Structure 1
Amino acid sequence: MVKNDGSVLIHSDGGSYKPLNWMSPPATMHIADREELEDSSTFDLADDPDLQQLWRVQAAKSDDLLKIRVYSVVGELSHDLGVDPGLIKDGVEADLQRLLAEQIERLGAGYTLVRREYPTAIGPVDIMAKDANGVSIAVELKRVGDIDGVEQLTRYLELLNRDPLLAPVKGVYAAQKIKPQARTLAEDRGIRCVSLDYDAMRGVDDVEARLF
């Protein structure tokens, strides 16, 4: 695979998405065909009579040289992919935070939003809410919930519960996926775990249409 930025990648037929070898840009490439190789005094085709092309890819900033021997061309395709839009992530924590703030009832009936990015001395809590009984709820959001997130929420709860105007403050650990060890630790500390369905929250998944 040859890209417009000068990079060259060599892939196998299967087994891995990672190329077997590659040359990163900037680089220059020269393709010597059979006719050029026959005229070349630096290459002896007697040692490689089936060779059709020799690709030489030279790195611009080092002495690295990639040589590719081509014995047959099965197919050649060229595609213009247009302007590179860059990497656009969907379903990051900021998206989850916004959607959950708009749909705070997913945490339970009667829940109300107090504030997103609730400030504390050790950093902002993702969402501060109140349950149907008026109890303060600190929500920590992750795409994938691991033990570090539980520890982070624990620190927030310890600090928030020192404020007599807020205490008692309970914790909710919400994520698209919560690892078993994190769930065990959270529940042991009295923190409720909530799994979030991102597609359902943004309205692209019809739950009623599911077979299971």
Structure 2
Amino acid sequence: MKKNIIISLDGHSGCGKSTLAKKIAEALNYIYIDTGAMYRAVSLYYMEHSLIDKEGKLNAAFKDHLNSFQIDFTKPNSYGKSFVRLNGKVVEDKIRTLEVSNQVSEVSKYPLIREKLVNIQQQYGKKENLVMDGRDIGTVVFPNADIKFWVKASADKRAMRRWQEFKEKGEEIEYQQVLDNINSRDYQDLNREVSPLKKPTGAIEIDTSNITIQATFDEAMNHINKILAQ
């Protein structure tokens, strides 16, 4: 039986890993899973159920809701894109706000939440050739992934990209707010007790700070084609 191919991309928020992962999946006709969207969807659920206080802390009652939400993805459309669903409803727009971004690191640090989502992510890997990006894909979810990438970029470059995304959506947000969010998430991701963000063993490093999306994609595909040809 032919083994499914798994390609993992890990890195900080805003480094370009999701954009790169989508392009790789499209080029190879693989399934793409955005694990960051999954944690955003869980954060949205807890926000909508008033389980995150004014200080941004998750209420201990979150444990009682672990079986009350389901996270999955729509089937890819004609453009190869799929969207995250929370309890059967597409929430792609709702999860991309700064308010949700500010809660993701808090929600994702809890082992019970990570355990539930990691299990869902691993199930996808048993069924399909897969491209998956996140914070712990090559270290925890698929430590034996066939190809691993570590995608990086400077904090100011990442903040500028996110700020421009908000502007394109018509959202008036100060650049400093976005940079503060990036720096805060970096600190929490690197220092959480469970599955802290770190470069996976054997990962290929790509710095997107000063190169175009196309150049990033070309570099990644060059590595992928060489490895798959072996």
TM-score for the superposition, normalised by structure 2: 0.22
The structure whose RCO (Cα within 8 Å, separation 6+) is larger is 2
**Structure with more of its chain in helix, by fraction:** 2
TM-score for the superposition, normalised by structure 1: 0.23
Structure with larger Rg: 1
**Structure with more of its chain in strand, by fraction:** 1
